Chain A
Amino acid sequence: MPYLFAAFCAVWLVLFLYILSLSRRHRELAREVEALRKMVGRGNP
């Protein structure tokens, strides 16, 4: 039984970390898009 729990914990941990990294990368990109759009907007009054 401990091996079964270890395997399932490992699966959830890997998936959780991956989804976390995806969401972090997405948030950073969204922030950058927002900042760049503002810069482009300021350049084209």
Chain B
Amino acid sequence: MKQVASFADRVLPWLTCGLMIIALAFVFLYVPNERIQGPAQRIFYFHLPAAWNTFLGFFIVAGASAAFLWQGDRFSDLLAQAAAEVGMVFCTLVIITGSIWARPIWGVWWTWDPRLTMVVILWMIYAAYILLRVLAGDNELIARYAAVLGIVGVLDIPLLYIAVKLWRGIHPKVERMAPEMIWTLLVCSAAFLCLFVWLIWLRLRSLTLRDEVSALRRQVVAVS
């Protein structure tokens, strides 16, 4: 475990920074402008990987919460908390970048399109999850309620995908891309995935330390 920790501490920040610099070079120097949308389309290269990380984060919350409910495993619970928080950061980035893209393309900062509405609902579900965890402290019962919310909340993701077909939204669908665009998207996705893993690692480390604080506090009370 110590070897993994030392590898993550030494390699992940540098790998993330390196990949991010390459991703920025691809977005600003390599990929051509899209014919209709112009430079604003380049926002998509950060918007889409952020959306994938959001879904990945919330799927991890659901999986880890299920493992926690099933086995009562402390690590699963910590992983769920870390993934929820990091997923929320990426979900916020999706909403912000989407809104900035919408202004020049749709002429508005925001519209209640089905997919956009589902993203806001997803954001609110996991905001409630995090709030519940913060307010619960060490309460095991509330942790279990939060785990159920973490599992149920993930059902919003498939709905988000079929929302465009079901309710005919205006959110664009990616159909065909030039090879340069595919390469840029792949590099940005790799950079964002690395960032995601690094942030989860940092948050997990903090949560483990918080557990240590709780254990030491109990020890102090016992000693005194």
Residues of chain A whose beta carbon lies under 8 Å from any beta carbon of chain B: 1, 3-4, 6-8, 10-11, 14-15, 18-19, 22-23, 25-26, 29-30, 32-33, 36-37, 39-40, 43-44
With A and B bound together, what is the CA distance between A4 and B203 in angstroms? 30
With A and B bound together, what is the CA distance between A23 and B40 in angstroms? 33
Residue pairs across A and B with Cβ atoms less than 8 A apart, 7 shown, are A4-B40, A14-B92, A15-B89, A15-B195, A29-B210, A36-B216, A40-B223
Query: Which secondary structure dominates where chain A touches chain B?
Result: helix
A11 B199 Cβ-Cβ under 8 A: no
B39 A1 Cβ-Cβ under 8 A: yes
Residues of chain B whose beta carbon lies under 8 Å from any beta carbon of chain A: 24, 39-40, 42-43, 46-47, 50, 89, 92-93, 96-97, 100-101, 103-104, 195, 199, 202-203, 205-206, 209-210, 212-213, 216-217, 219-220, 223-224
With A and B bound together, what is the CA distance between A39 and B216 in angstroms? 9
With A and B bound together, what is the CA distance between A37 and B47 in angstroms? 44
With A and B bound together, what is the CA distance between A3 and B109 in angstroms? 11
With A and B bound together, what is the CA distance between A36 and B213 in angstroms? 8
Nearest CB in chain A to that of B41: its residue: A4
B203 A22 Cβ-Cβ under 8 A: yes
Q: A3-B103, A29-B206, A37-B216 are in contact. Are A14 and B93 (CB under 8 A)?
A: yes
With A and B bound together, what is the CA distance between A3 and B219 in angstroms? 54
B223 A30 Cβ-Cβ under 8 A: no
A26 B213 Cβ-Cβ under 8 A: no
